[in-house]
Structure 1
Amino acid sequence: MADQHDELAGTEQPFVAHLIELRDRLVRSLIAVAVVFAVLSFFPGPAALYDLLAKPLVAQLPQGSHLIATNVISPFLVPLKITLLLSFLVALPVVLYQLWAFIAPGLYSHEKRLVLPLVVSSTVLFIGGVAFCYFFVFGRVFHFIQSFAPKSVNVAPDIEAYLGFVLTMFLAFGATFEVPIVVVVLARMGVVSVAKLREYRGYFIVIAFCISAVITPPDMVSMLALAIPMCLLYEVGLWAAALTVKKPEESTSEAS
């Protein structure tokens, strides 16, 4: 009886076969995103999703103020963009599995043991950064900004500008939460030792505050909300690297 097919097993294939497999896996990923998009389009719907995204800002606006649309087609396009982005995030496990199934046959066993945990942990950390930004940072940042608004000013943000701001902040915090992954990878690859990374702690703190000042809005709350987690996550990365990276004497004993 023929052995059951294992799509993660390494087998040599011609170049055309690789292209066909890549196409098939891209199609499966697109189908997964399309299915989630169709479900979200009916429930709760693009308009409800945008209301949910705008909730932290709307809660801080003066009574009677609302978001506005300065472009005729914005009320239609902006909620659809949010629905599509959320569909991709929900379908991300399927997309990552298709990516993993495509590259896994070309990897050695020790590389598979390293890559899969990195893919899973980096995805979880990115989503964690987005959630931290939405549930913790937005409310405090918008409250701080609105507290400085003159009473003579009618605050009415544009929905498209708000979407651009939100995406920038989501990407910034999602990337920030990847710091432990970067530290572990640098240490595991032998680019920088854990001891050196500890010595660079002071430099990293300065870099973290500089990056926060450039990426976030020009207010102290959002800058600290990005810089402080970045520094704490650097410490988490050092701790994880110390646990996962083998010491030279351990590598020598295993080799002998």
Structure 2
Amino acid sequence: MARAGRTANPEGRMALTGHLREFKRRFYIAGAALVVAAIGGFFLAAPVLHLLSAPLDELRAQGLDVELNITNVTQAFDVQMRIGFMLGIIMSSPIWIWQLLAFVVPALRTVERRYVFGFLGAAVPLFIGGCATGWFVLPRIIRLFVGFAPDGLTSYLGAQDYWDFSFKLVFAVGVAYALPVVVVFLALAGVITGAQILKGWRWAILTATLFGAFVTPAGEVLSMFIIAVPMVVLYFGAAGVALLVDRRRAKRDAALAAAGPTAGAAA
């Protein structure tokens, strides 16, 4: 939603065709950035996979016989393509996120713009923190699974399966940590209240525990708690923010009601 044409159009409105042209332009910019970043990510895939396989080096140092292998002719290329594409999404994210915001934000009011940037400012560090937590528990999970191999046998792990498992674990924990931002957004939108959020605390604890148990293997209680406890803390933090939002909304409504219908209509 570009600002072009504001001189001839003081309200800053744009025809549907203008919106479509603006969207196409920004889509092409974001797509080009993704392609360029993915090409660069393709050449970075080997060191990234080596970094992800670092837990296996620790296991070998502990005496466990485990190897990361390519199991078919095309798998090396497939793995490198997958890693390159994911790296492309990550590395180009400042560009495509900015293009998305530049298209949407001009249509928002000042308060709504603050909310959008506030949500991004909160969600990004939470997501990164969740990914860091997933990365921290990854070696423990791999160590437990590989430890089930009988003595004298070598564990041959397919590179593609290993990458998929590692990435899904790290990404899932990152998304889970960012979910409280969605809860706060729903509270700001009036869809849910802080009291309703707190009322569901038992379900929140159960869900966090089940999620921690799902992404970590059975018997790895410490890793499960490392994932679940911060999720519960973030949930109650989101509930506290929602309660503050409800309190401010109630004060504002009370002030408008006391000022009379004229003030309410003006607001």
Task: Give the TM bin, normalised by the shorter chain.
Answer: 0.7 to 0.9
CA distance in 2 between partners of 1:5 and 1:149 (Å): 68
- Give the number of equivalent residue pairs: 249
Tell me, yes or no, if structure 1 residue 138 matches structure 2 residue 149: no
Superposition pairs of residues 72-91 of structure 1, within 5 angstroms:
72-91=73-92
- Residue pairs, 1:148-167, within 5 angstroms: 148-167=148-167
Partner of 2:68: 67
Q: CA separation of 1:64/1:249 partners in 2, compared to 1, >3 Å: closer, same or farther?
A: closer
> SS state of the match for residue 156, structure 1?
strand
In the aligned structure 1, how far is the partner of 2:11 from the partner of 2:35? 30
Query: 1:18 matched to which residue of 2?
Result: 19
Tell me which residue corresponds to 1:230: 231
Runs of 4 or more off by more than 6 Å in structure 1?
Answer: 3-6
Give the letter for the 1:154 counterpart: T
Contact preservation (8 Å) 2:133, 2:226: no
> How many angstroms does 1:235 deviate by?
2.2
In structure 1, runs of 5+ residues without a counterpart are none
- Preserved CA contact (<8 Å) 2:42 2:85: no
Match of 1:200 in 2: 200
Q: Is the 8 A contact 2:194 2:239 kept in 1?
A: yes
Q: CA deviation at 1:242?
A: 3.9
Matched, 1:51 2:28: no
1:58-77 CA distance string (max 9 Å, x none): 43245553201112111122
Partner of 2:98 in structure 1?
97
Question: Aligned partners of 1:54, 1:78: CA distance in 2, in Å?
Answer: 13
Moved more, 144-153 or 228-237: 144-153
Query: Amino acid of the residue matched to residue 160 of structure 2?
Result: E
After superposition, the C-alpha distances for 1:98-138 in whole angstroms (9 at most, x for unaligned) are: 1011111222222212122113322332232222211x111
**Does the 8 Å contact 1:49/1:79 carry over to 2?**
no
Query: CA distance change for structure 1 residues 253 and 27 in 2, over 3 Å: closer, same or farther?
Result: same
3-state secondary structure, aligned to 1:247: helix
User: Does the aligned pair in 2 maintain the 1:37–1:84 contact within 8 Å?
Assistant: yes
Q: TM-score, normalised by structure 1?
A: 0.83
Task: Rate the CA distance shift 1:57–1:64 in 2: closer, same or farther, 3 A.
Answer: closer
Structure 2: which 5+ runs fail to align? 260-267
CA contact 1:49–1:83 (8 Å) conserved in 2: no
Q: What's the TM-score, normalizing by structure 2?
A: 0.80
Contact 2:65–2:154 at 8 Å: present in 1 too? no
Q: CA deviation at 1:157?
A: 0.8
Q: What RMSD, in angstroms, separates the aligned Cα atoms of the two structures?
A: 2.7
The answer to whether the Cα contact below 8 Å between 2:193 and 2:246 also exists between their aligned partners in 1 is no
Q: Report if the CA contact (8 A) 1:198-1:238 is conserved.
A: yes
Of 230-239 and 245-254, the range deviating more from structure 2: 245-254
The whole-number CA distance in structure 2 between the counterparts of 1:209 and 1:97 is 35
Distance 1:246 1:90, change over 3 A: farther
Q: Distance in 2 between matches of 1:177 and 1:100?
A: 23
Is 1:174 the counterpart of 2:174? The answer is yes
1:118 aligned partner: 119
Whether the 8 Å contact between 1:129 and 1:175 is mirrored in structure 2 is yes
> What secondary structure sits across from 1:66 in the alignment?
strand
Pair 1:63–1:249, CA change in 2 (3 A) = closer
**How big is the shift at 1:243?**
4.4
Q: Percent identity?
A: 28
Aligned partners of 1:56 and 1:142 also within 8 Å = yes
